[in-house]
Amino acid sequence: MNHLVRNGLVTGVPKLRFTVADDCMPCKKGKQQRKSHKPKLQNSIDTPLELLHMDLFGPISIRSIGGTKDETADILKYLILSLESLCKLKVRRIRSDNETEFKNNLMELFCLKKGIRHEFSTPYTPQQNGVAERKNRTLIETARTMLSDAKLPYKDRQSKFHAKAVEGIFLGYVANSPCKRVYNIGTRTFEEWFDVDCSKHSIPPEPTGPTRGFDYDALFKSFNLPDLSAVDAANVYELLGGDNDSSFSTRATVPIVTPDSNAASVSGTHDSDNSEDVLVVGDDAQANPKITVGNEAPADPINIESSSSGT
């Protein structure tokens, strides 16, 4: 009203200053907001078991391993007695909400007998019991993530364990709207969503280190072997047995020839009656020619032909 009068926005109203001695109740009802809960910068607990935060979550359709909601009082009494005996300390305070599983005659008598102070949070204000609420949220999200990763079906969409997001394909934006057009993979329908989080699938970078696995091309190139022609490769393949798997255990014996006769090394059979080194190729020694290694070795190359499937 003062703003309207000072700026001349209303005609016929005297230029007076309107004040209210007390708070304006209609203004409170129309503008009241909830107070924020500021984070606690310093921990006031310095002794173990000085304050226990308690809370339950639910409802769920699966029975808990620890017990039901009606067994909460008995389980808490056993827990407190066990902790005091194990840690040799005394529980001083416990904090919970106003639900009936915590606020009942059994818990009241037990706390009175043990000298424990039971603190309750304000109704509809879970922030006052934030330690237990955040721990419950962490456990529920962990269980929900494990169920989603295991791809286990959960039909109850109202349950706390149901997935909070679904997979889809982003198609674009909706005209004259901030929504996005998405193809829902589960229902196979086109839908318009606002809360869309696009996941990026980046191409993995090329490795900078040595190549993984077996690089046979680089391995054979490092041997500096002469290139074989197609005819030589076919002859070697036939000599090694071809397509017969049973003959793969047999390998050809290749002589290593050096200019010095004394340093010559031959893999084969040695004839004790002859001073010459002889290489026998094939199953029948008589059907194969002899290769003489030494000073009397022929200058021309020797072609070896074998009709057998092995050496």
Assigned token pair, 270: 């040695």
Strand order across the beta sheet in which 93-96 lies: 51-53, 93-96, 117-120
Strands 168-173 and 180-184: antiparallel
CA nearest to 239, candidates 251, 226, 231, 257: 251
- 245-286 pLDDT, tens per residue? 444 444 444 444 444 444 444 444 444 444 444 444 444 444
- 211-227 pLDDT, tens per residue? 555 666 777 677 776 66
**pLDDT at site 290:** 45
The Cβ of residue 285 has, within 10 Å, a number of other Cβ atoms equal to: 12
Helix axes 105-114, 72-87, angle to 10 degrees: 20
**pLDDT at site 51:** 93
**pLDDT at site 257:** 43
Q: Does an H or E element contain 189, and which? A: strand 189-193
Q: Which residues of the chain have pLDDT under 50?
A: 245-299, 301-311
Residue spans per domain, the chain: 51-129, 165-199, 214-311
**pLDDT at site 120:** 94
Q: Which CATH number fits domain 51-129: 1.20.120.1200, 3.30.70.260, 3.30.420.10, 3.40.718.10?
A: 3.30.420.10
